[in-house]
């Protein structure tokens, strides 16, 4: 270090050698040599980097660099190999495809593909995979309506975490529901019923699940309408009002309310009003078909996932 | 020192330590043989396990398990490492308080590796005078060959050191084969290269500068010293006498002649300076560069033996002893550090022998937090993560404790089998009859009962939420 030697000799800090106004001088304290070399190192590094990776903008394009990433991508329904200049997104796609975790996932998916529902449901290891993998599938495809975790929205989308299955809760039935979709329909009884009749039927429906506070006579009248020609409710909801899976009609004797938000109503009158509203306006709900949009393995995974949400049947 | 004019850094003066024979040198060779033996052979020792690798010591980053003979360290046991480091630090303080810098002199890897590098240097270039001659002579074939051979051998030792380190993190025979066939993973090459470079630089080029400039321990070890701590010291009174040290000549040959002339026992042969690996003169008193390796003690003892005078002109002693008092080993510091070591060691051993064979946590499913079922009962769902830390499969059943009347639903499962050293996430649902439900939330526990009857059940706390 030359300036260190200078310091030793002169006993003072080196100056730049100029003098202004006779005695005004400027100290010269050069940066440490290791610092300067480290700086030169970064310059060399940058030059190497320009050649290796995309770096310089050229018009509307950029210098591509020598390093490339190759990964598979779906194009027009076909798997095509794509090679692009190195970038973090391509790198991520590559990892998704060929990373260690991707390999593990593929192995599991293959296992799921080759197993029956009974085999999957009785294997804790596969079930753990289904829960974590299908959770994302559910979030991407189903949660828009059914909400995260299958909570549903009362009046619009059924709760999948309870044990009330309008279209059936076995794996076969759930798979069919997801594959083909459903159209749930209850006609509006506004043209048929007078307000009094709608009120009576509502009281009867509430009494079916043991809701207290109803008027005995009104319930009797409602029962007659429900089971008679006037209402004909039993066509769909069944003699015992327990619903019909083939129709997707609700079981009115249980504690689960999917359309009329009875549990949220505070007074008995409000509960009646909620049920009445459903009777007078009817219900029309559509679950779309997922065939063609999801692969059979994905439907299988979602079936098991949904089955487990509500404890299945 | 007038700070403003002097540079704090001084260019290195090359050191060519002379070899020496003696008690402490043999101890050092012994420690070196043991340390090198353990370090280089340990990864090659096999160890049969019911599951897992058959390498005695393996730090497996892929499975996040550390295998140390019969002990398997799981990620959640990593505080053992903290305990072990604390123990090591306390042991260092304890030993330093009593015996001084024995760690520096005998056990520090910097000292050990430097020792080996100096040995290589001597084998190739010869003893101290030959090395100095070689350094001074102009560049010719002999110099290029000898210095080149030294550096090649150094790099070889350094590379072996680096490679051995990586062998602790993978299957040793397999990795070695992969390493030399170019098939090893990049981190293996990077680690080996890095450690080769550091070993070569530290033990070959930097040497004593590591001890004097870089090592933090050299800076703070003095706070552990007291007047009873053992130090390597030159007996100034005996060596210098009234008239100071003097070389042996015709008039000052026998002990009696020297005594009469008031000259001390030090014959100023300079042997103690020549053997010093850090290049200091111990006769200048206790100094920060002294690593207490005691090679100067061996050197001086050899001279004293030759002269027929008693040994110990340079010896392990304490400041109190030098002043004619007794050295006290049993002091407050000894007991304090001793007690701390006993406590930490006890806790560590207790923790290692009493660690649970498996553990579990419950995670509440919060979407939805609770569900009303068709019969009016309330359902909560939980995910249990069960961790099997044993080396054999663990089969256990799940039960409930503290939630009277509740029903447990674990799907199609009677029990769960978790492979050795694996974990399993299990969905369980708990249903509470609607007619008896109170509006308050309940704390309860899952009870996990292993089926082999040898391992006690554990409880996993959880909470039940109601509308």
**pLDDT value at position B436?**
60
Cα B146 to Cα B121: distance, rounded to the nearest angstrom: 9
Q: How many CB atoms lie within 10 A of CB B6?
A: 13
C-alpha torsion sign, points B275, B278, B279, B282: negative
| Residue A186, phi then psi, degrees to nearest 5 | -130, 125
B 365-394 near A (Cβ less than 8 A): 365-368, 371-376, 379, 381, 383
Phi-psi region at B16: left, alpha or beta (left = phi > 0; alpha = psi -120 to 50): beta
Size of interface A-B (CB pairs under 8 A): 78
On whether any CB of chain A is under 8 Å from the CB of B435, the answer is: no
Task: Identify any residues that bridge with A186 across adjacent strands, giving them in sequence order.
Answer: A283
Q: Is B383 helix (H, G, I), strand (E, B) or coil?
A: strand
R_g of chain B, CA atoms, integer Å: 33
Cα gap B3→A36, rounded to integer Å? 25
Q: How many CB atoms lie within 10 A of CB B358?
A: 17
- Residue A16 confidence class, pLDDT cut points 50, 70, 90: confident
Q: What is the length of chain A?
A: 313
Higher pLDDT, A263 or B38: B38
Stretch B16-22: mean pLDDT, rounded?
A: 94
The DSSP code for B243 is T
Closest chain A residue to B4, measured at CA? A11
Q: B410 touching A, CB under 8 A?
A: no
Helix (H, G, I), strand (E, B) or coil at B74: coil
**DSSP code of residue A12:** S
Interval A38-67 mean pLDDT: 94
Q: Quick one: average pLDDT of B415-427?
A: 91
Nearest CA in chain A to B434: A255
Nearest Cα residue to B93 out of B350, B315, B344: B344
Contact A163 B427 (CB under 8 A): no
pLDDT for residue B437 is more than 70: no
Residue of A180 and B421 predicted with greater confidence: A180
Instruction: State the pTM of this model.
Output: 0.75
Q: Left if phi > 0, otherwise alpha if psi is -120 to 50, otherwise beta: which for B328?
A: beta
Map tokens 């008031």 to a residue.
B262
Q: How confident is the model at residue B251 (pLDDT cuts 50, 70, 90)?
A: confident
Residue range B140-165: mean pLDDT, rounded? 96
Considering chain B, what percentage of its residues have pLDDT values greater than 90? 64
Are β-strands A57-58 and A182-186 bridged in parallel, bridged antiparallel, or unpaired? unpaired
Within 10 Å of residue A260's Cβ, how many Cβ atoms? 25
Using CB atoms within 10 Å of the CB of residue A253, give its burial: 0 to 12 exposed, 13 to 18 middle, 19+ buried.
middle
Give residue-wise pLDDT tens across range A160-182. 999 999 999 999 999 999 999 99
Compute and round to an integer the Cα radius of gyration of chain A. Answer: 36
b/e per residue B142-155 (b: at least 16 CB within 10 A): ebeebbeebbebbe
Contact B372 A256 (CB under 8 A): yes
Tell me the chain B residues in contact with residue A254 when contact means C-beta distances shorter than 8 Å.
Answer: 374-375
d(CA A288, CA A97): 30
Residue B8 has a pLDDT of 57
Cα–chain-centroid distance for residue A167? Answer: 22
Position A11 scores a pLDDT of: 54
Q: Quote the CA–CA distance of B357 and B390 in Å, as a whole number.
A: 6
pLDDT in tens, A205-224: 999 988 888 889 999 999 99
How far apart CA B80 and CA B62 sit, in angstroms, is 20
Cα(A103)–Cα(A96) distance, integer angstroms: 9
pLDDT at B9: 58
In the predicted model, what is the mean pLDDT of chain A?
90
Q: Please report where in the chains the tokens 């194009």 appear, as a residue.
A: A75
Question: Rounded to the nearest 5 degrees, what angle is found at the Cα of B348, between the Cα atoms of B342 and B352?
Answer: 145
Q: Which candidate, B207, B215, B39, B192, places its Cα nearest to that of B121?
A: B207
* pLDDT, averaged across chain B: 90
Distances (CA, A) of A61 to A51, A55, A65, A69: 15, 10, 12, 18
Lowest-confidence pick of B4-8, B394-398, B446-450: B4-8
Q: How far apart are CA A162 and CA A312, in angstroms?
A: 9
In B279-364 the beta strands, taken as DSSP E runs, fall at 314-317, 358-364
Residue B253 pLDDT level (bands cut at 50, 70, 90): confident
Q: Which two tokens stand for residue B250?
A: 């015709």
Tokens 């249990």: give the residue.
B384
pLDDT given for residue A307 in this prediction: 94
Q: Give residue-wise pLDDT tens across range B48-80.
A: 988 889 999 999 998 889 999 988 999 888 899
Pick the residue from chain B with its C-alpha nearest to A119.
B412
Which of B7, B368, B371 has the CB atom closest to A4's CB atom? B7
Q: What band does A8 get if pLDDT is binned at 50, 70 and 90?
A: very low
Residue A10: is its pLDDT beyond 70? no
Q: Which residue has the tokens 């903290």?
A: B82
Cβ contact, residue pair A11, B375, below 8 Å: no
Confidence of residue B435 (pLDDT cuts 50, 70, 90): low
Contact A309, A163 (CB under 8 A): no
Q: What's the length of chain B?
A: 467
Helices (H), B76-169: 79-99, 102, 109-125, 128-136, 141-167
Residue B5, pLDDT score = 45
* Residue of B271, B231, B256, B239 whose CA lies nearest to B100: B231
ipTM value: 0.80
Contact B9/A4, CB-based, under 8 Å?
yes
Q: Which two tokens stand for residue B12?
A: 């290195």
CA–CA distance, A196 with B147 (Å, rounded to integer): 111
pLDDT tens figures, B305-350? 999 999 999 999 998 988 888 888 888 889 999 999 999 999 999 9
Which helix (H) or strand (E) covers residue B258, if one does?
helix B255-261
Test B368 with A161 for CB contact under 8 angstroms: yes
Integer Cα distance of A311 and A161 in angstroms: 8
Q: Is A311–B409 a contact, with Cβ atoms under 8 angstroms apart? A: yes
The model's confidence at residue B81, banded by pLDDT at 50, 70 and 90, is: very high
Among candidates B333, B280, B268, which has minimal Cα distance to B98? B333
Q: Read off the pLDDT band of B212 (50, 70, 90).
A: confident
Report which of B409, B373, B430 is spatially closest to residue A163, judged by C-alpha positions.
B373
How far is CA A6 from each of CA A10, A26, A27, B6, rounded to the nearest angstrom? 6, 16, 13, 10
- Check residue B52 and give its pLDDT: 84
Give me the residues of A, 150-179, that contact B with CB < 8 A.
Answer: 150-151, 159, 161-164
Q: What is the pLDDT of residue B439?
A: 60
Q: CA angle, B304 as apex, B300 and B309 as ends, to 5°? A: 150
Q: Could you give the CA distance from residue B149 to residue B392 in angstroms, rounded to a whole number?
A: 53
For the residues of B183-237, what is the DSSP string, one character each? Answer: -S-HHHHHHHHHHHHHHIIIIIIITHHIIIII-HHHHHGGGG--TTS-EEEE-HH
End-to-end CA distance of chain B: 80
Query: d(Cα A50, Cα B294) in Å, to the nearest integer?
Result: 56
**Confidence band for A3, pLDDT divided at 50, 70 and 90:** very low
Largest CA distance in chain A: 119
């Amino acid at each position: 270090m030359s300036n260190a030697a200078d310091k030793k000799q002169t006993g003072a800090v080196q100056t730049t050698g100029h003098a202004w106004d006779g005695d005004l001088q400027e100290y010269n304290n050069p940066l440490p040599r290791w610092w300067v070399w480290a700086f030169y190192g970064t310059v060399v590094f940058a030059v190497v980097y320009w050649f290796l990776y995309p770096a310089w903008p050229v018009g509307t394009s950029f210098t591509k660099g020598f390093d490339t990433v190759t990964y598979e991508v779906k194009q027009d329904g076909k798997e095509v190999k794509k090679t692009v200049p190195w970038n973090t997104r391509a790198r991520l796609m590559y990892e998704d495809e060929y990373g260690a975790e991707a390999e593990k996932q593929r192995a599991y998916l293959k296992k799921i593909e080759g197993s029956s529902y009974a085999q999957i449901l009785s294997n804790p290891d596969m079930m753990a995979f289904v829960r974590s993998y299908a959770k994302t599938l559910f979030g991407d495809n189903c949660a828009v309506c059914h909400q995260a975790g299958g909570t549903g929205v009362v009046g619009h989308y059924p709760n999948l975490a309870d044990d009330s299955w309008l279209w059936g809760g076995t794996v076969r039935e759930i798979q069919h529901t997801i594959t083909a979709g459903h159209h749930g329909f209850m006609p509006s009884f506004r043209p048929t019923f007078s307000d009094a009749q709608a009120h009576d039927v509502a009281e009867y429906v509430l009494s079916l699940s043991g809701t207290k506070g109803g008027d005995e006579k009104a319930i009797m009248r409602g029962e007659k309408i429900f089971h008679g020609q006037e209402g004909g409710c039993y066509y769909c909801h069944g003699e015992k009002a327990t619903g019909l899976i083939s129709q997707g009609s609700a079981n009115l004797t249980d504690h689960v309310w999917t359309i009329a938000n009875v549990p949220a109503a505070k007074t008995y009158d409000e509960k009646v009003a909620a049920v009445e509203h459903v009777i007078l306006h009817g219900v029309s709900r559509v679950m779309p078909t997922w065939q063609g949009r999801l692969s059979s393995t994905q439907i299988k995974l979602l079936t098991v996932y949904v089955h487990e949400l509500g404890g299945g049947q | 020192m007038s700070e403003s004019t002097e540079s704090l850094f001084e260019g290195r003066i090359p050191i060519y330590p002379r070899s020496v024979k003696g008690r402490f040198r043999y101890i050092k060779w012994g420690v070196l043989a043991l340390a090198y033996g353990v370090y280089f052979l340990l990864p090659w020792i096999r160890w049969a396990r019911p599951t897992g690798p058959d390498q005695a010591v393996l730090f497996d980053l892929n499975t996040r398990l550390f295998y140390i003979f019969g002990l398997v360290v799981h990620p959640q046991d990593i505080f053992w490492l903290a305990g072990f480091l604390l123990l090591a630090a306390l042991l260092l303080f304890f030993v330093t308080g009593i015996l001084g810098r024995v760690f520096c002199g005998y056990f520090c890897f910097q000292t050990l590796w430097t020792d080996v590098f100096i040995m290589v240097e001597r084998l190739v270039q010869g003893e101290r005078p030959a090395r100095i001659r070689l350094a001074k002579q102009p560049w010719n074939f002999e110099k290029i060959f000898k210095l080149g051979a030294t550096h090649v051998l150094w790099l070889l030792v350094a590379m072996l050191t680096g490679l051995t380190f990586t062998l602790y993190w993978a299957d040793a025979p397999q990795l070695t084969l992969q390493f030399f066939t170019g098939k090893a993973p990049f981190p293996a090459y990077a680690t080996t290269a890095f450690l080769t470079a550091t070993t070569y630089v530290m033990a070959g080029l930097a040497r004593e500068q590591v001890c004097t400039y870089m090592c933090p321990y050299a800076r703070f070890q003095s706070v552990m010293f007291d007047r009873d701590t053992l130090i390597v010291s030159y007996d100034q009174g005996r060596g210098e006498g009234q008239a100071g040290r003097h070389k042996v000549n015709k008039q000052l040959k026998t002990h009696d002649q020297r005594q009469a002339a008031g000259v001390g026992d030090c014959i100023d042969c300079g042997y103690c300076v020549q053997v010093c690996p850090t290049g200091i003169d111990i006769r200048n008193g206790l100094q920060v560069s002294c690593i207490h390796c005691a090679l100067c003690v061996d050197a001086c003892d050899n001279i004293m033996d030759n002269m027929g005078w008693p040994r110990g002109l340079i010896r392990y002693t304490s400041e109190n002893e030098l002043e004619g008092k007794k050295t006290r080993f049993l002091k407050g510091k000894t007991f304090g550090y001793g007690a701390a070591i006993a406590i930490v060691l006890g806790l560590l051993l207790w923790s290692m022998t009493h660690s649970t064979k498996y553990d579990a946590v419950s995670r509440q499913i919060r979407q939805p937090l609770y569900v009303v079922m068709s019969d009016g009962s309330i359902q909560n769902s939980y995910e249990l993560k069960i961790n099997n830390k044993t080396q054999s499969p663990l089969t256990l059943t799940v039960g409930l404790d503290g939630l009277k009347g509740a029903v447990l639903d674990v799907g199609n499962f009677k029990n769960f089998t978790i492979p050795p050293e694996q974990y399993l996430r299990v969905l369980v649902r708990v249903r509470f009859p609607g007619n008896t439900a109170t509006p308050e939330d309940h704390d309860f526990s899952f009870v996990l009962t292993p089926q082999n009857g040898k391992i006690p059940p554990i409880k996993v706390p959880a909470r039940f939420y109601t509308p």
